[in-house]
Amino acid sequence: MGQEAACAVRYGRQRSQGKALLETSELIFRGKFRLKIPFSEIRSLQALDGELRLQTADGLAVFELGPTAEKWREKILHPKSRLEKLGVKAGASVSLIGELDEEFLNELRGLAKNVHEGKIDAQCESIFLAATSAADLSGIRTVAKAMKGATGLWVVYPKGKKEITENDVLAAGRKTGLKDVKVVGFSATHTALKFVIPFDRR
């Protein structure tokens, strides 16, 4: 979903090799010990001599990332907006199916030229389908028939729910002949998975 790197991390008296993941709003490390550092809890941040140094209320965490340290520092300090990650550009035409949160709707209305709720516009660049259970994924078939060219379908679904899993979403999309190409952290509670029409069928 985000970016990852194999590295060593020092935290207090501990040091471990493992995997660091730079997510939408937090930095995660999995090794002999685990860390999850929300960006909101970082008090200071430095990239120095290949080390990403994060000071939090709980102590100093040092990620030995090499040249990647400066890049990650910039991404933490200047994260992409949700719409940038979803590829929605100013003046775009977007279609919405299902109930999406009001904050997202306000973001869309402030950037997109046309927001079509409850229907699919033939000229739209992106379609967002909200799914709260596996049963809601039946709507993908209808959407797939209406898609043209490079139109992208984002299926937005809750994280960590047994009623609907990533595998459910992938299976439903692939069953209609669509190709999954990207996953984005939509919010603290939801994930967005993107499907497109394969190039050879456009």
For residue 87, give both structure tokens. Answer: 């590829």
The residue type of 199 is F
**Tens-place pLDDT, residues 87-124:** 999 999 999 999 999 999 999 999 998 999 998 988 89
pLDDT band at 154 (very low <50, low <70, confident <90, very high): very high
Do 66 and 115 have their domain in common? no
Tell which of 58, 77, 96 closes a domain.
77
Identify the band that residue 172 occupies on the pLDDT scale cut at 50, 70 and 90.
very high
Do 142 and 186 fall within a single domain?
Answer: yes
**pTM for this structure?**
0.72
The pLDDT value recorded for residue 202 is 87
2: pLDDT strictly greater than 70: no
Number of structural domains found in the chain: 2
Range of the domain at 42: 3-77
Residues 86 and 183 in one domain: yes
CA distances (Å), 97 to each of 21, 59, 72, 104, in order?
32, 45, 35, 13
Looking at residue 158, what is its pLDDT? Answer: 95
- Where is the domain boundary, 28, 44, 77? 77
Same-domain check for residues 70 and 138? no
State the Cα–Cα distance between residues 23 and 38, nearest whole angstrom: 9
Residue 55 confidence (pLDDT) = 96
Let me know whether 156 and 102 are in one domain: yes
Average of per-residue pLDDT across 155-172:
95
d(CA 2, CA 23): 5
Amino acid at 117: E
pLDDT > 70 fraction of the chain, expressed in percent and rounded = 99
- Please tell me the distance from the alpha carbon of residue 38 to that of residue 27, in angstroms, as a whole number: 6
Q: Are residues 112 and 175 in the same domain?
A: yes
User: In whole angstroms, what is the distance from residue 47 CA to residue 53 CA?
Assistant: 6
pLDDT at 80: 83
